[in-house]
Amino acid sequence: MPYGMTDRLAASATRRASGGFTLIELLVVVAILGVLAAIAIQAMARYRQQAYDAAAIHDLANAVKAEEAYYATYEVYISFTANGPTNNAVPPMVISGTVKLEMTAATESFQGTATSTRGSGKIFSYDSITDTFISN
């Protein structure tokens, strides 16, 4: 090696040891964090939708129980529509903040649907004749 070249290499190594991170290293770390954040944000949005859908299912199940309790007392099913957040007077029940609930009564049966305005857009249904919950 030519004279002076070793001096420059030694000076560069000394500067690097005491100077910290290079700009490239910092940019790589920021890029990796950005990719991880993008993945986490998408997953979080999906989890929130699932939580809102779960609230719609829960409210529909509560409405089914309220319909049956009302029928046991008055021997008639009742039709109603409710948008949350609200307290439904007849039959008595609480509707979550983002849930739209609709119950349609017939003489000996009823059907219900529920959806969340902030959920995945699925409509959850119940039919008292078959006693089944369906997700559309």
**DSSP strands (E only) in the chain:** 80-83, 86-88, 93-95, 99-105, 110-116, 124-127, 132-135
User: How would you write the pLDDT of the chain (136 residues) with one tens digit per residue?
Assistant: 555 556 665 555 555 556 788 999 999 999 999 999 999 999 999 999 999 999 999 999 999 999 999 999 999 999 999 998 988 878 888 999 999 999 999 999 999 999 999 999 999 999 999 999 998 8
Give me the amino acid identity at 72: A
**Where are the domains positioned within the chain?**
6-135
- Residue 120: other Cβ atoms inside 10 A: 14
DSSP assignment of 62-101, as one string?
HHHHHHHHHHHHHSS---EEEESSEEETTTTEEE-TTEEE
Long-range Cβ pairs for the range 11-15 (8 Å, 24+)? none
pLDDT score recorded for residue 7: 61
pLDDT score recorded for residue 77: 94
Report d(CA 88, CA 45) in Å as an integer: 30
Cα-trace Rg, the chain? 30
Report d(CA 132, CA 109) in Å as an integer: 13
